Amino acid sequence: MSAILNTYNRKKISFKRGKGSFLYASNGKKYLDFVQGIAVNCLGHSNNYLNRAIQKQSKKLWHVSNAFVIPEQEKLAKRLKQKTFADYISFQNSGAEATEASIKFARRYFYSKGKKKKNRILCINNSFHGRTLATIFASNSKKMTEGFYPKVDGFDHFNFGDHKGLERSINSRTAAIMVETILGEGGIKVIPEFCLKELRKLCNKKKILLILDEVQCGVGRSGKFLAFEHAKIKPDIVPIAKGIGGGFPVGAVLVNKKVATGMKPGTHGSTFGGNPLAMSAGNAVMDVMFKKGFLNNVKNNGRYFIRELNKIKDRYPNIIKEVRGKGLLIGLCLKKDQTNFINKLSDNSLLTIRGSENVVRLLPPLNVTKKEINLALKILNKVCDNYK
């Protein structure tokens, strides 16, 4: 009997080690891992460059309080600033913390302008922003909020794709709209570029802030460093997390100058956020991701993978309804419940993970090779071939 609190339906597989796109199970089996800790290990398992960076830092200094200057943190912040829309960065440890801090920053901005009642955040129904009390009520999914009332107030909702409902939901108390640029847990639903452009315009018109949750779709996953860059817009606040530490827990909130004016010493903090060891991981990920051709490679491999997956869909229209995604954030939307399909893939040594709407998520490391993608395609074909 496990002493772990029963909050996960765990698969009965465990792993001894990992290398790149592969995991080696305790039972001796080798798996092609297209989960990668749910879009976390952007450079695959046990990446040599990341290993060296963390080892080097671990011998110098692990942790100091944010009460002191942390040069490794200054360095990563400067680089994120240089590579994105952001003017300032606040480091956290996880995605939920980063989205929750984003909510705080938006509220605090209007508070500092004397608009104390302008504090509501408008979100998409059944989206995903994390598992803290505030973020589950931001997501507004019954599955996540059931049993956790009283409700954390301050969130309004509209349905994905319901433009009229969105406009109708904005009122004088709305401080920000917060959406995932690409809905991850929700089933890899891409918000089209023209919608993102309209969303920016709408926020400008209503003088409210735009928060784009890029915890899953950010950090190179979509083929650009941040997914909204495809639409050539600039949000006001962007939480990131999953990929930025390459497997080490790191979260961050990127904000523009305007939002930054609402914050001052004492208004937010974190014991662990941005410690030297975490920052050495973040800096190493940035080193690799901004090497010439890296992001282009993600884009090209993503295009290839999606094109080939569509061919499988055309061959098995009774199994696969739709291929969704951008870059290497990919979802196969099945006609029926995906549980059995995922198990069959795993039986054939390909690890994938579910998303809402019968989706099977395919999340290879960003440095996956074409050969590994072809191996995944071969397994997918085989499983479809034998699927009843």
Ligand X SMILES: *Cc1c(COP(=O)(O)O)cnc(C)c1O
Give the shortest CB-342-to-ligand X separation in angstroms. 18
Give the shortest CB-214-to-ligand X separation in angstroms. 7
Give the shortest CB-374-to-ligand X separation in angstroms. 28
Query: Among residues 138 and 319, whose Cβ is nearest to ligand X?
Result: 138
Query: Among residues 96 and 366, whose Cβ is nearest to ligand X?
Result: 96
Give the shortest CB-99-to-ligand X separation in angstroms. 5
Give the shortest CB-39-to-ligand X separation in angstroms. 7
Residues that bind ligand X (CB under 6 A): 94-96, 99, 128-130, 180, 184-185, 213, 215-216, 241-242
Give the shortest CB-375-to-ligand X separation in angstroms. 26
Give the shortest CB-75-to-ligand X separation in angstroms. 23
Query: Among residues 185 and 229, whose Cβ is nearest to ligand X?
Result: 185
Give the shortest CB-321-to-ligand X separation in angstroms. 22
Three-state DSSP string of the chain: CCCCCCCCCCCCCCEEEEEECEEEECCCCEEEECCHHHHCCCCCECCHHHHHHHHHHHHHCCCCCCCCCCHHHHHHHHHHHHHCCCCEEEEECCHHHHHHHHHHHHHHHHHHCCCCCCCEEEEECCCCCCCCHHHHHHHCCHHHHCCCCCCCCCEEEECCCCHHHHHHHCCCCEEEEEEECEECCCCCEECCHHHHHHHHHHHHHHCCEEEEECCCCCCCCCCCCCHHHHHCCCCCEEEECCCCCECECCEEEEECHHHHCCCCCCCCCCCCCCCHHHHHHHHHHHHHHCCCCHHHHHHHHHHHHHHHHHHHHHHCCCCEEEEEEECCEEEEEECCCCHHHHHHHHHCCEECEEECCCEEEECCCCCCCHHHHHHHHHHHHHHHHCCC
Query: Among residues 213 and 357, whose Cβ is nearest to ligand X?
Result: 213
Query: Among residues 70 and 241, whose Cβ is nearest to ligand X?
Result: 241
Query: Among residues 72 and 185, whose Cβ is nearest to ligand X?
Result: 185
Q: Which single residue brings its beta carbon nearest to ligand X?
A: 95
Cβ atoms 104, 194 nearer than 8 A: no
Query: Among residues 18 and 249, whose Cβ is nearest to ligand X?
Result: 249
Query: Among residues 7 and 172, whose Cβ is nearest to ligand X?
Result: 7
